[in-house]
Structure 1
Amino acid sequence: MIARYARAIIALLPFLGSPALAETITDVAGRTIELDLPAKRVLVGEARQIHVIAALTGEHMLDRIVGWRDDFLTKDPDSYAAYVERFPALETLPRFGYVPNGTFSLESAIALSPDVLTLNIESQKGAEESGLEDKAAAAGIKVVYVDFRANPAKNSEKSIELLGKIFGNEEKAQEFIAFRRAQIARVTDRIASQPDLVRPKVFIERAPGNDAENGCCRSFGPANFGEMVERAGGHNIAADVIKTTFGDISIEQLIVQNPDHYIATGSNWAAESKTNRFVHVGRGADPQAAREKLQALVERTGFSGLKAVENKDVHAVWHQFYGAPYEFVPIQQFAKWFHPELFADLDPEATFREFHEKFLPIAYKPGYFVSLEKGTN
């Protein structure tokens, strides 16, 4: 009789899941946290972390999530719609505000009894100053910081590993990391093999047209999109001036530098933009409409004489690549723009499609890049 019960329990083990075990981890802020892993109830402190969580959990994306920040609908509605279509329960998932601007309600979060709150590293200062970290700890909520934006080269892989632990799929996290490394190496290895490579000067403008003034020129220093430009074999001219992740250069500096390529970051910001001048690129975006917005951007004062504009080396890239470890895709696309002959065989669209098929629970749709067509007025 006992042996029969033992055999029955053993047979059920694969369906019971792994028990949560106390483990000590170190987050990207260098904080040591002891928590039971995998977590049972997770509050996602930035909804765009879904781009990583979905790759780690697939069809089980919502199994452990009890709430999320309210940014997905306004910052990335095209992706939001795709995930809601696949997971309708997302529409009723409790939403929370942003820690740095004071709209995050810890009381509402506590009511959901989460084990873990995953915050992006830029929230740390606000969380400390507001006492959120201490109050969360008193309520039994472990705060874990991740980073895909401020210093992705340093923190992206660590952050993927952390989310892999929290969501109970460390093996998938390592598969993700390996895929990402291999796809970046397809560009960087070839660049390294070209000792006489001439790096074109590149200006990448951060979210132009998504402000009331329609001014210029927000950009990136040596990290984030700035680093992607460098890894793709270009020279990010803004890094000569900006030494932090984000910053500004003047239109006069842009004219003096006279870049060979101009790249705008764009997304669907219709829910929050006052001017609707941004370039709408992203999942399923209309390329012709995007080109019209891109053309309007380079008709601003000071742009007409730039080499990039005269030669129609004018492009747009999905802004949300800047906050997810999908940078292997823009690195490949940038490399094709900067060195078309060297990377004639590279197909970034196929790469991103493969990533969706291997890791994501939603189907791929193009629209993440656009360029002005050469030979047109």
Structure 2
Amino acid sequence: MQLSKLVFGAALALVGLLPAPSNAADKITVTDITGRKVEVKAPVEKVILGEGRQMYFVATLDTDEPFKRVVGWRDDLQKADLDGYKDYLAKYPQIEKIPTFGGFKEGTFDVEQAVALKPDVILLNIEAKAATDDAKLIEKLAKVDIPVVFVDFREKPFENTDASMRLIGKLFGKEARAEEFIAFRKAQIDLVTERLAKANPAKPLVMVERAGGYSDDCCMSFGNENFGKFVEVAGGRNLAAKIIPGTFGVVNPEQIIASNPDHVIVTGSNWELYVPGGAWVGVGSGADKAKARTKLAALMKRPAYTGVKAVKDSKVHAIWHQFYNSPYQFVAIQAMAKWLHPELFKDVDPDATMKTLYERFLPVPYKTGYWVSLSDKE
């Protein structure tokens, strides 16, 4: 008995010399897209998505179980991309039960609800930062040990997409998967840029209308970033580059007519939950292309496109709006390059690229319908 007590006492003494278990050992420090140093317990097990469309990048990393970490999300995926949402809902019916939030940007986020879900991190898009700063939400969440990390695929996608993917890969413990996606994305963009650099073709003038038909106003567009930059990378000249100083803005109808663009590209999606029965062009997963072309043709009858060369030549296109807010921009660049320089890119198949993206990185089946042109014969 005495010997047993002696051994037990020695064991306790030895344990006392060992470092005490600490959650701090599980924490890492990351630098988010705004340059903030943030301490996060990783790999994260519970995440709140500040925007539902962040599933576009979550699914590329957690392909086998894309919702396994998601304990809450904003309800915009269903509203902004109804067809895409239905694809995920069909395979993962449990997503209807995920708690939804209002937007940080609109100041409707429920902090108490977030606290109750005990997330390891909240992921926010960079455009929400001003609103979160004004409301001091980051400080409020920090008091209950909920870190906030900012990512960006929208404001400056060419600058921030790779960095955002690496950041999320680190948080999820999926660094290798993130690098695999980044390499795939780069190869698809290089396919366009290297060929353009070698051929140096003339650059057609392009008017990109953002969310054409979403409202009666005309015409929203893009400056030197996002789809405006996509045009430049695809070998075109963005009509709005010198008109819109930032990423987003408006081009007057008179400016479009006077500029007389060679091509018009309208972004669209299934916005039935936003604007029921609207004039928007419903391209996206499994879209009815014939219906999309009919709506696209109707948009070209507005005063802004009176007598415009692109309309006369049927060089008018519609493309999925959500390319602007996802890491899939490279597919849009290939589609646009093929429209702007059909001979130079006649062997490039953006539809095959999109299919490969789905097969390698996404958990739901691929359906065509992400873009149409008035000149399409099908």
TM-score, normalised by the number of residues in structure 2: 0.92
Task: Please tell me whether the aligned partners of residues 209 and 275 of structure 1 are also in contact (alpha carbons under 8 angstroms).
Answer: no
Letter in 1 for 2:117: L
Q: Does residue 171 of the first structure (1) align with residue 176 of the second (2)?
A: yes
How far did 1:182 drift?
0.2
Alignment match, 2:302: 300
Query: 1:1-377, aligned counterparts within 5 Å?
Result: 21-195=26-200, 197-211=201-215, 214-273=216-275, 276-373=278-375
**Residue in structure 1 matched with residue 16 of structure 2 by the alignment:** none
**Structure 1 residue 208: deviation in Å?**
1.1
- Deviation of 1:87 after TM superposition, in Å, equals 1.3
Give the C-alpha shift of residue 304 in structure 1: 2.8
How far 1:274 moved relative to its partner?
A: 5.4
Unaligned 5+ runs, structure 1 = 1-18
Distance 1:94 1:165 in 2: 25
Question: What is the Cα-based RMSD across aligned positions, in Å?
Answer: 1.5
**Identical counterparts, % of pairs:** 48
Give the match for residue 12 of structure 1: none
Distance 1:20 1:277, change over 3 A: farther
Query: How far apart are the structure 2 equivalents of 1:218 and 1:277?
Result: 15
- Structure 2: which amino acid aligns with 1:145? F
Partner of 1:4: none
Residue-by-residue CA offset, 1:18-64 (whole Å, 9 max, x unaligned): x9832111000110011121112111111101011101011121221
Moved more, 199-208 or 96-105: 96-105
CA distance in 1, matches of 2:327, 2:225: 13
Mapped to 2, the partners of 1:40 and 1:341 lie a distance apart of 49
- 2:41 & 2:376 partners in 1: Cα distance? 56
Aligned mates of 1:63, 1:272 — CA distance in 2: 28
* SS of alignment partner, residue 333 of structure 2: helix
Separation in structure 2 between the aligned mates of residue 21 and residue 104 of structure 1, nearest angstrom:
28
Offset at residue 103 of structure 1 (A): 1.6
Give, in angstroms, the shift of residue 374 of structure 1.
Answer: 6.8
Distance in 2, matches of 1:143 and 1:374, equals 45
Counterpart of 1:308 in structure 2: which amino acid? A
Sort the Cα spacing of 1:251 and 1:286 in 2 relative to 1 into closer, same or farther, 3 A: same
SS of the aligned residue for 1:165 comes to helix
**Is residue 233–residue 333 contact of structure 2 (8 Å, CA) maintained in 1?**
yes
Deviations 1:126-150 (A, max 9, x none): 1111111001101110000000000
Q: Give 1:111 shift.
A: 0.6
Cα separation, 2, equivalents of 1:82 and 1:335 = 28
List alignment gaps of at least 5 residues for structure 2.
Answer: 1-23
Compared CA separation, residues 190 and 366, structure 1 to 2 (3 A): same
CA contact (8 A) 2:257 2:306 kept: no
**Using the alignment, how far apart are the partners of 1:90 and 1:65 within structure 2?**
9
Structure 2 Cα separation of the partners of residues 264 and 186 of structure 1: 24
Distance 1:167 1:60 in 2: 12
Q: How many residues align?
A: 355
State the one-letter code of the partner of 1:52. F
Alpha-carbon distance in structure 1 between the residues aligned to 2:94 and 2:73 = 12
The 3-state SS of whatever aligns with 1:364 is: coil
Amino acid at match of 2:214: N
State the secondary structure of the residue aligned to 1:268.
coil
Q: Is the 8 A contact 1:281 1:369 kept in 2?
A: yes
How far does residue 302 in structure 1 lie from its aligned partner after superposition? 3.4
SS class of match (1:285)? coil
**4+ runs deviating over 2 angstroms:** 373-376
Contact 1:38 / 1:168 at 8 angstroms: preserved in 2? yes
Q: 1:234-281 CA distances to partner (integer Å, 9 max, x unpaired)? A: 000100211200011111111111000001000000111156100000
| Residue pair 1:20, 1:37 contacting (<8 A) in 2 also | no
**Structure whose CA Rg is larger:** 2
SS at match of 2:71: strand
Secondary structure of 1:216's aligned partner: coil
